[in-house]
A and B are shown apart, each in its own frame.
Chain A
């Protein structure tokens, strides 16, 4: 579990609700919240499915594939810790499993106009050498 800190941080806030996602990410796997009542994945993690009144969230492995909806490139640095990887891009992946997931893109070429809709694979790596693996996408 992570304690919230007011110093500069790029570590996600991990707790009992979302831990299965981050633990799977550490193994390089995509685990998503699942609604048993409607047989659908959803995002973000919630104690009860947003598609149901009282169905508790379950976790299931999901195929880490989808298409890149859009991506945008950072030209201005906001977090000093990330200066070494500027410029970088972030984007939205429409997972084949259903939900959309925001991802980091090491390849800013994926933010070029022609790349919208491109097939991508979601994988997990630390933004920096010593940081926790987070969702990223690369061309499939």
Chain B
């Protein structure tokens, strides 16, 4: 690790404010109303004036959300550093890393990261009436490996192929996967903001509607409308150091022939090799080296869970357990509140809302501050974000 890298990102910047809108199916609401709820809550939470915001990074933008220029205009912001990722999720850690780099390099002092999505009114991804439908006929495959010309529509197809290949390779009973949505639902029941708060049993899970075998409705994230905002600034501008979630480690999303968005590295789907990352290799990842810690030092995890199998892969790719072990390892409450490493204590995208992981980012900040109420992980000092694309962030409290 070069001195420049560690100065820029390891402990030099922090999330100082988080806010969220209402979540759920809110077809009559303007997405701008939802962004307003999240933005105002985050600004108040940070204890700053809106005028301090001079950077604006937008996760999804139009057509599900709103673009950076619209947001700045509507809310009277005058950012001097703006950026925006594509119309899908995935770039949670990347957006926060760009915010940290911007404030540490002086391109901005205080960056608002905004994700917003109005999913209830744009149709279902994979159907022809969705504004992103053309992507599944994209050259070299859609964003999740779709090839509509062979009937392979919708992101869940790639997730189903990945999970089948995983079960085949390790000889695993697919019913073990129920532990993920059931655990996250248990967490959501303690979260007043969560969309789905009803109980979910193993029977409920087994009986949920098949979508693409072997995946079922309860393996899929929710159809959600809402917005989340996180405000990032650097050490000398942090309003209250005790409430800051310091960014102490980061690594970017990875790509290449050995990756597939819905599989661990080297699973052997798409054009991947069959060389999985070993436990020893995973424990030496850049995010751990930058933060100077190891998986066992993490108190609470947030993981991207647009499909229930994704956290399984992330736990292996980031060294929480060995390749092929995660589905057995998570059984019996290990990733639940009170377990060895609580995961998605907000309920995740499966039960709180499909906010592309930003609900988990907000939750991790609240956990580090001790503000998670009934969901609080005792003495949470170090929180980590994992994406199945290889992106990660480490947060610590002072």
Q: B-contacting residues of A (Cβ < 8 Å)?
A: 4-13, 15, 17-18, 42-46, 50, 69-76, 78-80, 82, 85, 88, 90-92, 99-100, 102-104, 111, 116, 127, 132, 134-136
Contacts and interface: CB of A to CB of B under 8 A. Distances in A.
A130 to B, nearest CB: 14
A73 B138 CA distance: 22
Contact of B140 (A44, A85, A92): A44
Given A75-B211, A102-B145, A134 B150 contact: yes
Interface in B191-218: 209-215
Interface string B120-143: 000010111000011001111100
Interface of B: 124, 126-128, 133-134, 137-141, 145, 147-154, 157, 160-161, 164-165, 168, 209-215, 257, 268-271
Contacts of B211: 75-76
Given A6-B134, A44-B141, A78-B124, 14 more contacts: A4-B134, A5-B134, A7-B128, A13-B138, A72-B212, A72-B213, A72-B214, A90-B151, A90-B161, A91-B161, A100-B270, A102-B150, A111-B213, A116-B164
Nearest to B164: A70
Centre residue among A43, A46, A70 by max chain B CB count within 10 A: A70
A98 B56 CA distance: 45
Given A72-B160, A79-B127, A92-B269, A6 B133 contact: yes
A7 B127 CA distance: 11
A69 B148 contact: no
Contacts of B257: 50
A113 B214 CA distance: 10
Contacts of B157: 72, 74, 90
A99 B273 CA distance: 10
Contacts of A50: 257
B139 A102 contact: no
A74 B271 contact: no
Nearest to B150: A104
Contacts of B150: 90, 102-104, 127, 134-136
Given A78-B124, A79-B151, A80-B128, A72 B137 contact: no
A69 B152 contact: no
Given A10-B148, A69-B165, A102-B145, A78 B153 contact: yes
A26 B211 CA distance: 32
A45 B140 CA distance: 7
A127 B151 CA distance: 8
